[in-house]
Amino acid sequence: MLNRDEDILQAAETWQKQGHGVALATVVETWGSAPRPAGSSLVINDDGTFLGSVSGGCVEGAVVTEALDVIASGQPKMLEFGVADETAWNVGLSCGGTIRVFVEKVG
């Protein structure tokens, strides 16, 4: 929950009305020094355009890729990024935290 950047939810609605495929990615759990709190979210459309953030920039690229799959399949997905996870380390959650991100299709 961060009110100041929540017009991203308005963008999600607008994109959907314009006929885009849209996904919403939300931080649902954090451990350690995760950069964004639970409730922070990112919206992604089928162009790969995104707004908001789930990690302050560390893992957004990976989340966007997964979100495009979710838009195509319609099936929600839970993603986990952390230091113990080699892929996550590669995408750079270097702050040492772990986050779980729920990705769902809008519509």
Partner 1 sequence: MKLEVLKELNAERAARRPVIIVTDTANGEQRLVKAKDVAADPLRAELAKQLRMGKSGNVEVAGKKLFLNVYAPTAKLVIIGAVHISQALAPLARSLDYDVTVVDPRTAFASPERFPDVPLVAEWPDVALPPLNVDHYTAFVAVTHDPKIDDPALLHAFDRDCFYIGALGSRKTHAKRAERLRAQGAKDSDIARIHAPIGLDIGAVSPSEIAVAIMAEITAQLRLPPKEKEEAA
Catalog residues that contact partner 1 under the rule CB under 8 A. Answer: 1, 3-4, 6, 9-10, 12-13, 16, 24, 26, 28-29, 37-39, 75-76, 78, 102, 104-107
The nearest distance, CB 35 to partner 1, in angstroms, is 15
Q: Choose among 104, 101, 106: nearest CA to 53.
A: 101
DSSP symbol at 32: S
**Contact between 84 and 71 (Cβ < 8 Å):** no
3-state SS class at 100:
strand
The nearest distance, CB 101 to partner 1, in angstroms, is 10
Cβ atoms within 10 A of the Cβ of 66, count? 17
Cβ-based nearer residue to partner 1, 29 or 47 = 29
The nearest distance, CB 99 to partner 1, in angstroms, is 13
